[in-house]
Structure 1
């Protein structure tokens, strides 16, 4: 019976409205007071039914909810035969709940749209070579899938054959199509606008980028901020306090109608719902614009950030460095470069990839043993030789002679803003390479936006030499630049900033950034970075779009401001109503309920403004 009544709340609301309208038409139009009274009585009884059920359910778990206050107020009004107010109060409460649910659903629309975009089926290549439609859950890593024009990409994968243009808005928030061809990466949930692709599945199900986005956004919605936890505690004691106040007023004044009115006016509905609706709307806006904010607590901390620390490679720069200069000091050029390429293929570092790409196809030598030196490079045994590949510090540590000419070449390359890769064989320097990673387009403008949003310190920490880091900092307008920084050095520096009372956000994309991402108050990962960086972070910028960082910070600040506005509106409404009860003659239970429900709608609509937030 309880389930049936609660499932028909909207029908009951409509019936209450019809009965109330019928009552007043019969009295004012035809002077029939009997129909007037019976219509209001029936409206009161059917209207209070779902409210009293919710009140009973709350009391069973020892919670004095708003429904309890309204039920007592309506029953009291009914007993003193004030049927007009009992009917109108129940209708307004039910109608307010209906409007509240509808508007709340709109705040979740961005997230609902996101989940609806999840692919459900895929064209999978079977053993006979034919493609058959299967449920996406039946796809395994390594399967070959066919994606046709207009279809959703079912998994994260790599293009095997074909060419086409994909809309990646569900992942990056960017609606411009991206060209995909052989060896291009594609993501689940994106749409192939034209062309035909065959892809091999790299990640399936919840492991896909899209699956992780949905999981993170849903977790973020369920999390509670400090403000929400405070309001939960406040409501726990506030609602019984209103009940006690109402009883005291009745004892003193013996005015039962006044006591009942206080029960209605003291309901903290807008206060309870104001903060969650702001957080949900803010997280929804972020999801729509390629920014994942992992929870309301993250939003609060992010809004207070005054220092942002950046890793350089892959964050401020594109992360695809190119060799722009090289010098061979001794030995056969082809032989030296073939040894160097063989060693660098053992590493997935961006500088190593740049060297391999620059050297191109060459003879491959068998690597007998490698030792990766953290923050330095690689020491390898290859073809009977001991080869050291890395930075200047590693060469000095390995006692490789760097003569005056070499020092001059190093200085010249560094002054041009290049990162250096040196290679020695059996203690003798063979190669010096200058590598440059282009700065991301628009970074300088984005950093200026961050300063306007209140970020006082913009710092870059890099393993590169100081001269290179200084050049980058000068070019894009950073406040501090520190080179020769190993992962533990970055952590120590962040600890120093925090010890000074600064609220630090760290932006990075690599495995070596994960400790710093975890240590900072806010860790921000570039979305094309490693899984561990994304998992460790609090904020993810999808598609590694640096331009989304100012939007993310502006959205966090706007969400917190919106939350504070809703708290003020809610408390202000309750105070005005309670004061009006004691110091005005026009306030009654029905008007109070109307204002109460209006305040709930105001905070919801105010929160919904965040769905359309854009950084100016």
Structure 2
């Protein structure tokens, strides 16, 4: 079973037909694995007693024909064998599901919502018409002496004009779902009011509805504004080559396709394009997740977000990078309906089912009382608007609160999921730890001194951009070491660096690098380095010593984990690509329940899928770069850190723009409070509208006051949701 947000894929076969030598199994979600059908069929055929396999993508079934041998007498054993094969493709099925769903949702929620300015203008117009009616009356504009004079008064025409957008949505609802929706109910109540000659009631229904929508629209717009403020932290600039050959600094939004831009050492690449001149060492970790910087030359591609560590390149722009990335992020969050929470979908579905109830009540009340006013009350008072807004406004207010405090939540689904998960997984480097390793101790061969060890190490690391190089150089500065003259520094990927000092080769790197060059550190040196990141140093054929680097845990990480446990987290797991000894040490320091080490990014993703297949709700906390697959496959992916990259913001469901791990339990606390308010909103809507329906059917309450009662419940819901805006959970205030 794979759980994705609100969807569950059962990757365990369910037998739907079983005859002699023939078995058909159903796998929910199999339709998303069309690309791997051929390979899946081949692997199932490799089971020696199976002689025929067919996959039906429509029914999501696998048909197998098998020889009746002793090994297949127990059908459950056969199903288990096939399940084992299918399970091997679970990651591919899930990836295809995500991609297909994203394509389906594009444009699904493109309908333009009314802005607060438009709603305010409607309210002003409505109020003006009502005031004019009170002063001048409501005679027909063109008297005909017929029944439809009621629709030709100024307030009646104004009501029809203001209601006109709802006619289309009401009709579309009937066509698409074959059932009336909330807009159909509103249109019906307004038309009924006009037929009864009560145009003021019609305007009142519209006005109160617009007030509730105005409050909702205003909250959403404030949220969008806050998101843009959070993402546009800096205005990117670059150096552009003009047609006359001059170079001018300009804003990135002025760069067009095929323009030439020059990027120097220390500058961020702001376009996607091809290098046409120069050579540079480029850090692409924020884009591709490559740990080591790479050399980029002519005719090679570079991407927005990369950082020039050394050198200068001229790039022909093919795509402006940062603007398109930011626009995608804002679009994703604005269209958060694509990430609706389960409770939000339930509210929408439930409210739609209640609309026919109002129509039925209206008919029953009229049949019993023969009172058109009481029948109309049944149409005016409905649950649907309030129930829908009870979730939408609370989630919007919660997202608004979070972005103002440097936390980006991409939809209501993740607010609810935070309250439903029971396991949290941490990446180690840069998440649990600071990501800034420091030399904590040294081991030196008896023929050398510590200063000589550090002196030679600094020589081979001086121009390297590896994080461990920085900690070696920092340690050299601390000791006041003068770096000796040396030759060109060469890097061996995954091993270390080397250079020439006084005619001898200095090597700095891992144990494998030493052994490959005939240098074998002593057992004492290797034992000394256990539990830390060892940096071995040699000079010529001599082993000099080892520097022990350690990346200490973040401040407050242990306290944050304890708070998460109090918020319902039962298990804390650490996944890392580092060695087992280092992982064990860090896991013990932060009281993690378990850990797995020496993992590749895809291994982390597989581990999360395994947990989800067991029914576990998983939160993944990482840096948003190498952890991208794991972040995207978890129920909730959280990127932690002030240096969150564009990739982190796009991949994660929640982005915390701070280095404080205490923000994680605080976000969980805000989510819990948001869900409490959603439940309160349900109670408010159901309670007030139920009282209104009873009064409307049994008393002489007017349509006007029925409309007031109904819309006041909606306004109460919006007002109650706005309390989330004032919540101080993210500031550490309870």
Map of 1:579 onto structure 2 = 694
- Corresponding residue number in structure 1 for 2:593: 480
> Match for 1:206 among 301, 315, 322?
322
Alignment match, 1:350: 467
Counterpart position of 2:146:
none
Distance 2:252 2:134 in 1: 53
How much does 1:235 deviate?
A: 4.5
* 1:554 equivalent in structure 2: 669
Say if 2:657 is the partner of 1:537. Answer: no
Q: Closer, same or farther in 2 for the Cα pair 1:519/1:79, shift >3 Å?
A: closer
Task: Name the counterpart of 1:286.
Answer: 402
Name the structure 2 match of 1:318: 434
Confirm or deny: 8 A CA contact 1:301 1:522 kept in the other structure: yes
* Equivalent residue number for residue 492 of structure 2: 370
Residues 248-306 of structure 1 show CA distances to partners (whole Å, capped at 9, x for unaligned) of 54456544333222111125211222222122111111111111112222222223222
Indicate yes or no: 2:551 matched with 1:437.
yes
Cα gap change, 1:207/1:272 in structure 2, threshold over 3 Å: closer, same or farther?
Answer: same
Displacement of 1:74 in angstroms is 3.7
Alignment of 1:332-481 (within 5 A): 348-359=465-476, 361-366=483-488, 370-372=492-494, 378=495, 389-390=509-510, 401=520, 403-410=522-529, 414=531, 418-423=532-537, 429-464=543-578, 468-476=582-590, 478-481=591-594
Indicate the residue corresponding to 2:125 in structure 1: 12
Distance 2:460 2:599 in 1: 22
Q: What is residue 568 of structure 1 aligned with on the other side?
A: 683
1:45 maps to what in 2? 156
Cα pair distance change 1:346/1:221, threshold 3 Å: farther
Closer, same or farther: CA 450–56 of 1 in aligned 2, 3 Å: same
Go from structure 1 to structure 2 and tell me whether the alpha carbon gap of 1:497 and 1:399 turns closer, same or farther (over 3 Å shift). farther
Q: Secondary structure at the match of 1:422?
A: strand
CA contact (8 A) 1:504 1:522 kept: yes
Partner Cα distance (1:394, 1:560) in 2:
54
Structure 1 CA distance for aligned equivalents of residues 493 and 612 of structure 2: 34
- Separation in 1 of the partners of 2:409 and 2:325? 15
1:506 maps to 620
Instruction: Give the secondary structure class of the aligned counterpart of 2:627.
Output: helix
- Residues 39-79 of structure 1: CA distance to partner in whole angstroms, max 9, x if unpaired? 99957514522344133222443454444323333433443
1:97 aligns with 2:210: yes
Q: Deviations over 1:500-521 (max 9, x none)?
A: 4332212122643233223322
Higher helix share: 1
Counterpart for residue 164 of structure 1: none
CA distance, structure 2, for counterparts of residue 535 and residue 398 of structure 1? 43
Separation (CA, whole Å) in 1 of partners of 2:496 and 2:155: 84
Q: Does the 8 Å contact 2:253/2:323 carry over to 1?
A: no
Residue 594 of structure 1 aligns to a residue whose secondary structure is: helix
Asked if structure 1 preserves the Cα contact closer than 8 Å seen for 2:623 and 2:640, the reply is yes
- Structure 1 pair 286/395, CA: closer, same or farther in 2 (3 Å)? farther
Q: In 1, distance between residues paired with 2:171 and 2:655?
A: 41
**Quick one: distance in 2 between partners of 1:491 and 1:59?**
44
SS state of the match for residue 324, structure 1?
A: strand
Structure 1 residue 101, shift from structure 2 partner: 0.5
2:464 and 2:239 map into 1 onto residues whose CA distance is 34
The number of equivalent residue pairs is 535
1:55 paired residue number: 166
Contact 2:212 2:711 in 1 (8 A): no
CA, structure 1 residues 443+336, in 2 after alignment: closer, same or farther (shift >3 Å)?
A: closer
**Deviation, structure 1 residue 222:** 6.4
Q: State the distance in 2 between where 1:238 and 1:103 align.
A: 22
* Distance in 1, Cα, partners of 2:699 & 2:346: 35
Whether the 8 Å contact between 1:317 and 1:439 is mirrored in structure 2 is yes
Question: 1:15 offset after TM fit, Å?
Answer: 2.6
Q: 2:636 aligns with which of 517, 522, 533?
A: 522
- From the superposition, tell whether residues 70 and 131 of structure 1 become closer, same or farther in structure 2 (CA, over 3 Å): same
The corresponding residue for 1:608 is 722
8 Å CA contact 1:562–1:607 kept in 2: the answer is: yes
Correspondence for 1:266 among 366, 377, 382: 382
SS in structure 1 at match of 2:694: helix
Q: 1: distance between equivalents of 2:518 and 2:238?
A: 58
Q: CA RMSD in A?
A: 4.8
In structure 2, what is the Cα distance between the partners aligned to 1:136 and 1:430?
A: 50
Contact 2:648 2:655 in 1 (8 A): no
Judging changes above 3 Å, is the alpha-carbon distance between structure 1 residues 143 and 336 closer, same or farther for their aligned structure 2 residues?
closer
**SS at 1:61's partner residue?**
helix
Q: Could you tell me how far apart the structure 2 residues matched to 1:141 and 1:451 are?
A: 50
Moved more, 48-57 or 283-292: 48-57
SS of 2:436 mapped into structure 1: coil
Q: 1:223 to 1:491 in 2, by over 3 A?
A: closer
